[in-house]
Amino acid sequence: MSVATVDRVLNSRLPVRGKTSEQVLAAAQELHYHGVNLLSQRIEERRHAVSLGLLIQSRSTTFFKQVVEEINDYVRHNRPDCRSIVIEEFDEMTPKAMAHAIRNLSSRADAIAVMAFDHPLVNEAVLDITAQGKPVFAFLSGLSAPSLSGYVGIDHQKAGRTSGWALSNLLNRSGKIAVLIESYQYRAFQEREIGIRNYILEHEPGIELCEGVYGIASTSVVERMFEELLARHPDLKGVYFVGAGISAALKVLESIPREQWPVMVCHELTPTTRTALSTGTVGVVLDSPRRELAHEIVDRMIESTTQNRPDLQHSRIEFKFYCSENIV
């Protein structure tokens, strides 16, 4: 057994096989190691540890990379009761493929969380998995499956209403605005659109909210959607960019005169949107706190395997509001 392995067991740095941990404990007891009681406690925690699984839209974007890093860091340093966590992305963005991936992941974990389309096939997979006694959580975007164990993410209707408030104030409460939505099958994006439409209808008679523009999560598609939107509404003053792909929209703006740029409100503070805020290309960014999301989803999944909690465990994480004046 290497010195590095012994160090990992003594300091709980990385997961080590149970048999190896037991061997280190036996040696520590024989040598009257001063930290043997703490070591024994850690090994006991590992013995009852659980395996977790997470399925997300992508691991390549800045936002999801940061979420994954926060989850792995939290598990590694703060949750010895998590034996392992498998984080995967969907190979194919269709309800059938999502349902298959969810079933497959559930066979390798004690509890899972998913960011998936709110679709009957997905909800049926959730129902089958929970019927086997395994908790399933919706992460970042909700699901309507009645057996869902809970939801962890921001309040998307509140985010939509906040975007409506921001645009109406930035435009002096008059003008035409639009909503650009990719991947409308996510419940989160549906709720964001509902939120902004309700706010405008309730409070802003001087704001004209034109029809939504819908597509799929593809850079080329988002570019075309935005170009067509600007061509159809040359008097457009503001846009709420509901989903991902803001980089594609910003690229389109570079091809038109600045005086024709609509005011933009979008989601997630990244290097790209931070720069866009500082240059005035984007007016407001609504940001989902990665660390809080990571900690909460891990805590809820572990808790669901150790406590009998049949009621829904919804955890609404407060989003942050950024403009050019508070990004530093």
Average model confidence (pLDDT) across the chain: 86
pLDDT of residue 14: 42
Put simply, whether the predicted model's pTM sits higher than 0.85 gets the answer no
Assigned domain for 113 exists: yes
pLDDT at 7 (0 to 100): 44
Please tell me whether residues 129 and 182 are part of one structural domain: no
pLDDT value at residue 9: 43
Same domain, 182 and 235: yes
Are 2 and 116 within one domain? no
Is it the case that residue 90 has pLDDT exceeding 50?
yes
Structural domain contains residue 203: yes
At residue 136, the 3 state secondary structure works out as strand
User: Which of 47, 62, 77 delimits the end of a domain?
Assistant: 47
Element (H, E) at 33: none
Is the confidence at residue 2, as pLDDT, over 70? no
Q: Is residue 178 part of a domain?
A: yes
Name which of 73, 119, 79 is nearest 96 in CA terms: 119
Q: Is 327 domain-assigned?
A: no
Is the residue at 62 inside a domain? yes
* 164 pLDDT more than 80: yes
CATH number assigned to the domain comprising residue 245:
3.40.50.2300
Domain with 93, as residue range(s), is: 50-153+291-317
Same domain, 185 and 165: yes
Same domain, 126 and 171: no
pLDDT tens digit string along 294-312?
Answer: 999 999 999 998 766 556 6
Query: Which residues have C-beta within 8 Å of that of residue 81, sequence separation ≥ 6?
Result: 45, 46, 48, 49, 50, 302, 306
Indicate if 56 and 30 belong to the same structural domain.
no
| Same domain, residue pair 277 and 174 | yes
| Tokens linked to 121 | 């096939």
pLDDT at position 42 over 60: no
Q: Do 131 and 21 belong to one domain?
A: no
The predicted pLDDT at position 213 comes to 78
Percentage, residues of the chain above pLDDT 90: 63
* Per-residue pLDDT, 6: 39
Is residue 63 domain-shared with residue 39, that is, in the same domain?
A: no
299 and 182 share a domain? no
Q: How far apart are the first and last CA of the chain?
A: 49
Average pLDDT of the residues in 232-245: 90
- Say if residue 55 is in the same domain as residue 130: yes
The residue that leads in pLDDT, 312 or 232, is: 232
Percent with pLDDT over 70 in the chain: 82
Find the mean pLDDT for residues 156-176. 97
CA separation for the pair 130, 145 (Å, rounded) = 10
Pair (202, 226) in one structural domain? yes
Instruction: Specify the pLDDT at position 181.
Output: 86
Query: Does residue 130 sit within a domain?
Result: yes
* Overall number of domains in the chain: 3
Task: Indicate whether 209 belongs to any domain.
Answer: yes
**Chain centroid, CA 120 distance in Å:** 21
- Decide if 252 is inside a domain: yes
CB proximity list for 279: less than 8 A, separation 6 or greater:
none
The single-letter DSSP state of residue 323 is -
Helices and strands: H and E segment counts in the chain = 12, 13
List beta partners, residue 286: 267, 321
